Amino acid sequence: AAPTTTTTALAVAVPEAMVVPLECGSDGHPRADAADAVVRLSSDVDAVVVGPGYDDPATTVAFLERLVPRLDAALVLDATASS
């Protein structure tokens, strides 16, 4: 899962991955409610990768707080998503 601005590059770089574009706010960062789409799609996957493109700490935390408690798959965070 990544902001719409990075999904094309990710899909080309990792064609075996399901790359999910996330709804972003006017600042270009994924909105917290975009986590709902990730949760819906994660029921049949082994892992969810979040990032890149999460460089706003407050927005990232809001997204992760909505995602993590509801996620049954393993979670991998891009380095900027964890800062």
Q: Tell how strand 74-77 and strand 47-50 pair up.
A: parallel
What is the structure's pLDDT at 36?
93
What is the structure's pLDDT at 3?
81
pLDDT digits (tens, 9 = 90+) for 12-56: 999 998 888 888 888 888 889 999 989 998 888 899 988 766 778
pLDDT digits (tens, 9 = 90+) for 50-73: 876 677 888 888 999 999 999 999
- Distance between the two ends of the chain, CA-based, in angstroms? 17
Q: Taken in order 8, 16, 52, 72, is the CA torsion positive or negative?
A: positive
What is the structure's pLDDT at 5?
80
